[in-house]
Structure 1
Amino acid sequence: MNQQPLISVLMPAYNSELYIAEAIESILNQSYQNIELIIFDDGSSDNTRQVIQSFDDPRIVKILSDQNYGVVRARNDMIDRASGQYIALMDADDIADRTRLEKQLRSLEAGECDLCGSAQWVLDEASGKIKKSKDKFTDADLRSLLSVYCGLCNSAMMGKAEIFKRFKYDTTILTSEDYYLWVVMAAAGYRFLNLKERLITYRRYPAQTSSVHLDKFRITTIEVQKKYLELLGISLDFYPRQLPWTKRVSVGAGLLRALNQRFKGISLQANCEIYARFQFRRNGLWTPLTRLERLMVGLWATFLVN
């Protein structure tokens, strides 16, 4: 490679023979070309390595492991080896829009954010149907909503390399490792942005919605969310969980007050989404009243706390 790449794209791969060629091509064919693509074959037992070896583009850095170490170690090894000023994440079964890196780089270099994602197309592998993701876009919404869920798509993220090299992935968290990474970065004060253009096609598999996977994800998600409140200096008494209305108004309002004081400009919709985690679902005849309650608390947080 004749010049130092500005962007390092990291692609971990494990048994991805069916899709990795399309993923690689979507990065090599980007409108912005000053990149390196680091691919880590994590001990695949199918033909993933052969597919990787079929590409001879000088911008590709190949790391070929005969042992399966897991995606967390693979990502950390690639972060160590990245030489670009920016790091972009990319999974081996997703597809990047041709203008993805160019548009994210523009936002990052303009100082609009420290970490930049985007909206996505979600491809259901079981049905073949594709739909639009539901996203939030501003820093205040994204960082406040991390208290109840992760609104960032790992395969769509790009940010300053120095941030990734400072934090890396926690090797003790193996199910929600990306969620935890964003939580730590958000608590440290780094600014997030989701571009409204759909710059990634994200594949969703039946295994991701299996009961076993969801149970594991639910447990680690709770741990990550509680850690986030700790990092923000917010009492765990305000942790979002279903409560009777006699308790949830005060507890939910307490969390919203703390978040709105920390992240200025949280939208009404985001405040309502956070408060909804304190309510019970499937309220039947009570649904109109719970929606009204959610709206009233959300309006209070949006216009009085802010």
Structure 2
Amino acid sequence: MPRVSVIMPVYNNAKFVQGAIHSILVQTYTDFELIVIDDGSTDGSAYLISQIADPRVKKVYHPENRGLVSSLNEGLSMATGEYIARMDSDDLSTPDRLGIQVTFMDQNPSIELSGAAFTTSIGGRPKVNPIHHDEIRTWLLFHCCICHPTVIMRNSMVQRLGVRFDNNYPHAEDYELWNRLAPQIQTANLPINLLYYRLHSGQVSNRFKAIQNDSARKVRQRQFSQLGLQLSDQENQMMLDFMEFKINAGDYNNYARALGFANWVLEQNRKYQVYNQEMLNLAFSRCISNLPY
């Protein structure tokens, strides 16, 4: 039984899928299985996958497209490893990715899910997300700060909590899951670049941006509900302004409304104690001051 199960759903990614698979097969850490699920591709992806002879690759072919969430959940059901890692079919993992992540998880038994830094250009500056659990959980109220294709998690946690992705949050299913898990487990992000995250016109975040944004809004509203808050359209827009660092300190009315909104949320958090109060205050302060983490 391999220690790591890598799950890679594929749908119409013939241009990139061989590179993505190759980046896993050449890992310096070799005790893994790669579960490749072709979800009814029509562009030749399935043929390219069929040509791979490495016995560590487990191949699944759907006769028709079922959607990403279905493939992800199928992969979770198939995974036999102690750890489950995610990989997208248009990205590239660094050769030492699995070795670094397995070592980290072995040395930190309290961490049940972790991500890592990534770049969006070869040789570019890594994007480092919040590192420690309280930071991650707090920033998840604002946006997704765990990069899905860098994730590794314990299979024991997946089994214990019955972890599955939710179809009700299309194109933000990862963001929904991280928020759902954060109160129950310890998370981390390694400040080490372990992935080249490919930007291209065909990726989900470009093709389905409006749907993704709506799903993310639903996730945030669920989180605000835990604080006893139901945001109006205007308040939702204020939250977006915080997330996108659009608070204008030179506009007194805008700045005053932003401070009022932040203090309102902080007061509710003081009452319900959902988030670390200091971290939440820091997050709002950084947004207002235009100081991304």
Q: Report if the CA contact (8 A) 1:9-1:88 is conserved.
A: yes
* CA gap 1:245/1:186 in 2 versus in 1, 3 angstroms: closer
Deviation at 1:134, TM superposition (A): 4.4
**Which structure 2 segments of 5+ residues have no match?**
239-253
Q: Which runs of 5+ in 1 are unaligned?
A: 277-289, 296-306
Distance 2:205 2:56 in 1: 38
| Shift in alpha-carbon separation, 1:210–1:193, aligned structure 2, 3 A | closer
What residue in structure 2 maps to residue 117 of structure 1?
A: 115
Q: How many pairs align? A: 268
What TM-score do you get using the length of structure 2 for normalisation?
A: 0.82
Deviates more, 1:195-204 or 1:219-228: 219-228
1:136 to 126, 130, 136: 130
Superposition deviation, residue 103 in structure 1: 1.1
Which amino acid is 1:65 matched to? Answer: H
SS at match of 2:167: coil
Q: Higher mean Cα deviation, 173-182 or 204-213?
A: 204-213
- How do 1:187-226 and structure 2 match up within 5 A? 187=183, 189-206=184-201, 213-226=208-221
Instruction: Select the residue among 27, 31, 43 that pairs with 1:30.
Output: 27
User: How far has the Cα of 1:247 moved from its partner?
Assistant: 3.2
8 Å Cα contact 1:107-1:113 kept in structure 2: no
| Superposition deviation, residue 85 in structure 1 | 1.2
Equivalent residues in 2 for 1:9-24 (5 A)? 9-24=6-21
Q: Is the 8 A contact 1:141 1:266 kept in 2?
A: yes
What is the aligned partner in structure 1 of residue 143 from structure 2? 149
CA contact (8 A) 1:207 1:213 kept: no
- Whichever residue aligns with residue 191 of structure 1, its letter is Q
1:1-306 pair list within 5 angstroms: 4-110=1-107, 111=109, 113-123=111-121, 130-165=124-159, 166-187=162-183, 189-206=184-201, 213-230=208-225, 233-237=226-230, 241-242=237-238, 244-245=257-258, 247-254=260-267, 257=270, 262-263=275-276, 266=279, 270-273=283-286, 276=287, 291=289
User: 1:130 and 1:213, CA in 2 relative to 1: closer, same or farther beyond 3 A?
Assistant: farther
Change (3 A) 1:5 1:163: same
* Runs of 4+ deviating beyond 6 Å: 209-212, 258-261
CA pair 268-201 structure 1, distance change in 2 beyond 3 A = farther
Cα distance, 1:246 vs. partner?
7.1
**Mean Cα deviation higher: 73-82 or 167-176:** 167-176
- Secondary structure of the equivalent of 2:190? strand
Deviation string, structure 1 residues 30-57 (Cα, Å, up to 9, x no partner)? 1111100000000110111121111111
Partner of 2:246: none
SS at match of 1:266: helix
- For the residue of structure 2 that corresponds to 1:206, the secondary structure is coil
Instruction: Give the TM-score taking structure 1 as reference length.
Output: 0.78
Q: Residues 205 and 114 (structure 1 numbering): CA distance in 2 closer, same or farther, change over 3 Å?
A: same
Computed over aligned residues only, the root mean square deviation of the Cα atoms, in angstroms, reads 2.8
Deviation at 1:68, TM superposition (A): 0.5
Contact 2:4–2:32 (CA<8 Å) still a contact in 1?
Answer: yes
**Alpha-carbon deviation of 1:214?**
2.8
Superposition deviation, residue 140 in structure 1:
1.1
C-alpha deviation, 1:131, in angstroms: 4.5
Q: How much identity, in percent, do the aligned residues show?
A: 26
Please give the per-residue CA displacement for 1:240-267, whole angstroms capped at 9, x wherever unaligned: 6527257325314325646977437738
Aligned to 1:286: none
The answer as to whether partners of 1:146 and 1:183 remain within 8 angstroms in 2 is yes
